[in-house]
Structure 1
Amino acid sequence: MNFVSVLVREAKYFLSVRALTKWTGDISPDSQNLVPDDIEGVVDRHGANVAFRFEGTLTTYDEFDARANRIANWALEQGLKAGDCVALFMENRPDYVATWYGMSKIGVVTALINSNLEGDSLAHCINISDARFVITGTEQDNVIRSSQGLFTARPPVWTLGGTEGADLEAAMAGVSAARPSREHRAALFGRDLCLYVYTSGTTGLPKAARLTYARTQGMMRSFIAPCHITERDRIYLTLPLYHGTGGLCGIGQAVMTGASIILRRKFSASAFWDEATDQGATSIVYIGELCRYLLNQPPHPKEQAHKIRTGFGNGLRPEVWAEFLERFKIPHLCEFYGSTEGNVSFLNFDGKVGAVGRIPGWLEKQFANIAFVKFDIETEEPVRNAEGFCIRTDVDEAGEALGLIGEDVRNRFEGYNDEQATKKKILKDVFEKGDMWFRTGDLMRKDKDGYIYFVDRIGDTFRWKGENVSTNEVGEALSSLPGIATANVYGVPLPGYDGKAGMAAITTDGDVDFEGLYKALDEKLPPYAIPIFIRIQRDADTTGTFKYRKVELVQEGFNVDDVTDPIWMYHPERKEYVPFTHDRFDSLRSGAFKF
């Protein structure tokens, strides 16, 4: 890269950082300008704009605000007050946003419950929130009916359109649509609790992350500047509204600017381009696997006829990234890294393929609150020196990303509604006695130009033959091969061996050449990283936000008595994969067969 190109790149990066600061610089734990104040200001300026386009119905900002006001005034009639909590268990629809927005007007905390949960998981999320009421929609009747006896406090259920619970629509029929007095939230500050947003539960029961008003504001404003969103944009949103990426960052792009949300109940790869094009979408919100699903679809006549100019999301893998932009002719995507509860986040402003963000040299002081430290895969703990302190990684060396915990909005860690879960995420005495840092649980690396790359989740990376194996690297290699649609990689214990053997659960979209599979992988991966076992699933096991589930797969391993899916095993003498039979399972378990 020549000198002029470097100057241009740095100038663009500087302007992007300045634009972002314009949107997020006034957020403070001590501020009394809260989320509902921001949204009400947008309504006052853009009341006639369309806020939501949903299943053939248009909702203006004035109508959206009136709906939220009715919900707030109804809640006041029920005796709810600032600091109380309600659980929102509803499918994607404009009322979802109107409900939590309305509650925020009177200081009531809303717990955003994953609409796919049922039974013990649903009860757990509602119970730990201490919700006074549960508000549901049209699709939750059966789940509520079967799970209600598990709710410890037995909160009353109110429904908007369902049959299980009291009729909230009828109860609001005579309720005022005027804004409730701001006095109901007058005692609140940015540091006070606004929402509970739950972790996805890929490794156990979900945890309730505490989102303050200030943190919620930050999430809602974060992608306005990077995507250059104005009140004229239409943002196509197919992700679940209970999740931070879609429900706060995506919604925030609109309700903080006056733009319009094209909202879909659920993501559909087959309907994506028809709806995005016909509704005039200019921006999208994605999760990496969503992009992969679209690439796996056959060519669509409208896949390049759209007006989409930008979008944001996370988890877009390098092997998908460039192909996605080229095939669908989308000029710009803003990949980011972050978690709902954490204090470490990055934005990829300039579109460097594979990077989740960048810390250029001239910004290192401003990012002193973020560190990458050497990490021991076997102990799953950071490496410490003779003095007991952590050691910063070298250029291009993978290490755990940490965030310094402080009182600034950018540095705060509010934790979970579970003290023990909160403590597990805090690392002490990192670089000096008494300091505290948030553990992201992610391995990342930074190159010589400051670009940051996600490597793997801690616990996903495993050791085999004395080497560290990155599940992401193996997954990318597998997914790039003909016939393999998705690849979920994990390590499984193998009798008589240290470490864990690689296993991949794949789905297919064509014929897979298993005889030539090892050779193809050998050209992409070091020998120790090539999976020993390949499990073929009809559908990938994912959460509602398309994250791969691994806990159950690891528990089942390669036990042919438990797994009904076909399994293939690498045969070291043949240098190819062979069907994994009961005989081979018994031979492996007895130690007669060796790798």
Structure 2
Amino acid sequence: MRLSVKIKRELKFLGGLTRTLKRVKSIAPDSNNLICDDLETAVDKWRDRPAITFEGKTISYAELDAMANRYAHWAKGQGITRGQTVALFMPNRLEYMAIWYGLTKVGVATALINNQLTGAALAHCLKISQAMHCIVDPETSPCFEDVKGQLDRHVHQWVLGAAHGEQRDLVKALKSCSQLRPDRETARDGLVAKDTALFIFTSGTTGLPKAARITHMRAQLYMRGFAGSTGAKETDRIYVTLPLYHATGGLCALGAGLLNGGSIVLRKKFSATHFWPDIVSENCTMFVYIGELCRYLANQPEHDLERAHKLRLIFGNGLRPDVWNDMLDRFKVGDVLEFYGATEGNVSLFNFDGRRGAVGRIPRYLRSKFNIRIVKFDVETEQPIRGTDGNCIEVKPGEVGECIGSIGSDARSNYVGYADKAATEKKVLHDVFSKGDAWFRTGDLMRIDGDGYIYFVDRIGDTFRWKGENVATSEVSERLAGFDGVQEINVYGVKIAELDGKAGMVSLVTTPEFDLEAFAKHVDEQLPTYARPLFVRLQPAIETTGTFKYRKIDLVTEGFDPAKTKDPLYFRDPEKGYVKITKALHAKIEGGAFKL
């Protein structure tokens, strides 16, 4: 007798949930089993198996561990003590994971700094990390050099490559460091899972990047959770092009592979041109995505190898339903595992049964097992709506509200937050459903349907997402407002056809001496690529609300369409710089003529 589609979906959902919970159930805040212990257990089980392949070189699990041990002994040799932090400012490379893995073995935390940052944002991250040592490579060293004078303390710069001046040669220093594991009893005695392992930076909803504190327990939840949710095996090879300074690529994907005896095929960055040849030649069985990566693939012309692969699963977040269809129907990947999670928070969702477009599901019969709720939300005040009793109100099926997570003491509901205590408390909502309770605010708007499927709607506030990164409008405004000829600046995100996320746009009130070409150069100097405004609008004045806040809703609605405004509009052409937008150019942009 054939099972109905609904029963098959239910079994698939329960199977995925069971696998995941099984892997994370033993994680506890006061346990002395740390993330490095999990990885050492994997090494001991699969010593000779290939662990990571990068740019033609493959290292085994044993070699990965030996590399990590050298960094552990290097830290001890430099007098870097338990509880201190080392900043890691590099692009993806073979040594990346080995560095933080090794440092956790001796109780040292690693601040994973976005390698695209420059200027003030980079200096800010280095400052709040409290690191006295920073590891760079030849690509990021010049950026560090540019900001070292802005730091409030001397930070030793260690280069994985040629060192100059005050720089220190890390390659040379590591040669004298032992490959053997540091003694566990000495190095990790007294450390527990609620101690800090990493700092991962997020722009949050406003301002400069914040340092989300990742405890050993949270790192274990990421790595063990995805080892279970993906159902990965020894034979799996996972293709990773996402940056390792983010949790999705650096913890979720690595955990899925390395805690199951599989292999990681790591690339420095994503390339739509090389994607399918890589996937096929490396015999990859999975890859980790963000939605925009998949859209790049869907927008490519047909490739000879796009169905010649062995991909049985892709997993990630931000996959739009139409691209979801392309991945399954055009490219014939075996399955999609969409998930949702907040780096610094306690909310996580998995779409185990493949309902296209959903980020996860909370069935009614399992509602009490999840710490997640969606509450009614006022977009104007940017606060949850409360009833006459003072409590928040849950949304009904089909309604949009803010997703929140109940804060508890167990591993799954624990909320650690940021290095900054004030920023941590800002994300907590009190007295939600009863006096004294506390809930984590995700800052994300979602809706739930009658079957318990949850769909992501939008970010709350001004922050928008572009190229897989959160762009805080306040930060962009701050960096660009001081340019000659700019009197006022209003930053917001606009949609481009079906592209994921929103592209940056600035509305400017300028004086006659404003120079658009010089402004473009200033933008490049001040901002990382993903935060640079793609569109500029020149206005005689910027409209404000009754409380003197800049109005953005009309600007967002009008976007960069010259038919909707008489204001001059400009587009950042990849070859020519900012050029005036005509109706013809607008049509080309919306039609996908430019690789954005």
Fold conserved between structures, TM > 0.5: yes
Q: Distance in 2 between matches of 1:98 and 1:89?
A: 14
Which range moves more in the overlay, 490-499 or 219-228?
A: 490-499
User: In the alignment, what sits opposite 2:12?
Assistant: 12
Q: Distance in 1 between matches of 2:235 and 2:398?
A: 41
Q: Distance in 2 between matches of 1:277 and 1:533?
A: 48
Q: Distance in 1 between matches of 2:104 and 2:501?
A: 40
SS in 2 for 1:402: strand
User: For residues 74 and 15 of structure 1, do their structure 2 counterparts lie closer, same or farther at Cα, with a shift above 3 Å needed?
Assistant: same
Contact persistence 1:487–1:506 (CA under 8 A) = no
Task: Write the deviation string for residues 374-425 of structure 1: whole angstroms up to 9, x where unpaired.
Answer: 1111111111112221111111100001111111111111111112211211
1:269 counterpart = 2:272: yes
Identity over aligned pairs, percent = 47
Task: Write the deviation string for residues 564-585 of structure 1: whole angstroms up to 9, x where unpaired.
Answer: 443469xxxxxxx999xxxxxx
User: For residues 485 and 175 of structure 1, do their structure 2 counterparts lie closer, same or farther at Cα, with a shift above 3 Å needed?
Assistant: closer
Correspondence for 1:278 among 277, 281, 287: 281
User: For residues 30 and 374 of structure 1, do their structure 2 counterparts lie closer, same or farther at Cα, with a shift above 3 Å needed?
Assistant: same
Shift of 1:479: 2.8
Task: Write the deviation string for residues 131-163 of structure 1: whole angstroms up to 9, x where unpaired.
Answer: 121111231121122111122121211111243
Q: Distance in 2 between matches of 1:453 and 1:83?
A: 39
Task: Write the deviation string for residues 177-217 of structure 1: whole angstroms up to 9, x where unpaired.
Answer: 11001121121111111100000467431100001100000
Shift of 1:86: 0.5
SS in 2 for 1:261: strand
Shift of 1:11: 2.1
Which range moves more in the overlay, 161-170 or 22-31?
A: 161-170
User: For residues 211 and 74 of structure 1, do their structure 2 counterparts lie closer, same or farther at Cα, with a shift above 3 Å needed?
Assistant: same
User: In the alignment, what sits opposite 1:138?
Assistant: 138
Task: Write the deviation string for residues 10-49 of structure 1: whole angstroms up to 9, x where unpaired.
Answer: 2222222111111111111121111111111111110101
SS in 2 for 1:230: coil
User: For residues 97 and 72 of structure 1, do their structure 2 counterparts lie closer, same or farther at Cα, with a shift above 3 Å needed?
Assistant: same
User: In the alignment, what sits opposite 2:334?
Assistant: 331
Contact persistence 1:130–1:153 (CA under 8 A) = no
Q: Distance in 2 between matches of 1:41 and 1:496?
A: 59
Amino acid across the alignment from 1:69: N
Shift of 1:451: 0.3
Shift of 1:334: 0.5
Q: Distance in 1 between matches of 2:152 and 2:191?
A: 29
Contact persistence 1:223–1:312 (CA under 8 A) = no
Shift of 1:496: 8.8
Amino acid across the alignment from 1:150: Q
Correspondence for 2:440 among 438, 441, 445: 438
* Consecutive unaligned residues in structure 1, runs of 5 or more: 463-471, 508-513, 519-529, 541-562, 570-576, 580-595
User: In the alignment, what sits opposite 1:469?
Assistant: none
User: For residues 295 and 535 of structure 1, do their structure 2 counterparts lie closer, same or farther at Cα, with a shift above 3 Å needed?
Assistant: farther
Amino acid across the alignment from 2:573: R
1:538 counterpart = 2:573: yes
Contact persistence 2:292–2:500 (CA under 8 A) = no
Amino acid across the alignment from 1:335: E
User: For residues 473 and 135 of structure 1, do their structure 2 counterparts lie closer, same or farther at Cα, with a shift above 3 Å needed?
Assistant: closer
User: For residues 491 and 4 of structure 1, do their structure 2 counterparts lie closer, same or farther at Cα, with a shift above 3 Å needed?
Assistant: farther
Amino acid across the alignment from 2:163: T
User: In the alignment, what sits opposite 1:556?
Assistant: none
User: In the alignment, what sits opposite 1:550?
Assistant: none
Contact persistence 2:19–2:231 (CA under 8 A) = no
Amino acid across the alignment from 1:121: A
Q: Distance in 2 between matches of 1:534 and 1:505?
A: 11
Correspondence for 2:220 among 212, 217, 221: 217
1:421 counterpart = 2:439: no
User: In the alignment, what sits opposite 1:501?
Assistant: 554
Contact persistence 1:13–1:350 (CA under 8 A) = yes
Correspondence for 1:566 among 580, 584, 588: 580
Aligned length: 516
Contact persistence 1:479–1:486 (CA under 8 A) = no
* Consecutive unaligned residues in structure 2, runs of 5 or more: 465-491, 508-540, 546-550, 589-596
Contact persistence 1:383–1:391 (CA under 8 A) = yes
1:479 counterpart = 2:497: yes
Amino acid across the alignment from 2:446: M
User: In the alignment, what sits opposite 2:458?
Assistant: 456
Amino acid across the alignment from 1:155: V
Give TM-score, length-normalised by structure 1: 0.81
1:204 counterpart = 2:239: no
1:189 counterpart = 2:224: no
Report the aligned-residue RMSD: 3.1
Q: Distance in 1 between matches of 2:140 and 2:269?
A: 15
User: In the alignment, what sits opposite 1:169?
Assistant: 171
User: For residues 377 and 535 of structure 1, do their structure 2 counterparts lie closer, same or farther at Cα, with a shift above 3 Å needed?
Assistant: farther
Counterparts of 1:332-481 in structure 2 under 5 Å?
Answer: 332-367=335-370, 369-459=371-461, 475=495, 479-480=497-498
User: For residues 533 and 62 of structure 1, do their structure 2 counterparts lie closer, same or farther at Cα, with a shift above 3 Å needed?
Assistant: farther
Counterparts of 1:68-87 in structure 2 under 5 Å?
Answer: 68-87=68-87
Shift of 1:9: 2.1
Give TM-score, length-normalised by structure 2: 0.81
Contact persistence 1:503–1:535 (CA under 8 A) = no
User: In the alignment, what sits opposite 1:583?
Assistant: none
Q: Distance in 2 between matches of 1:247 and 1:441?
A: 23
1:308 counterpart = 2:314: no
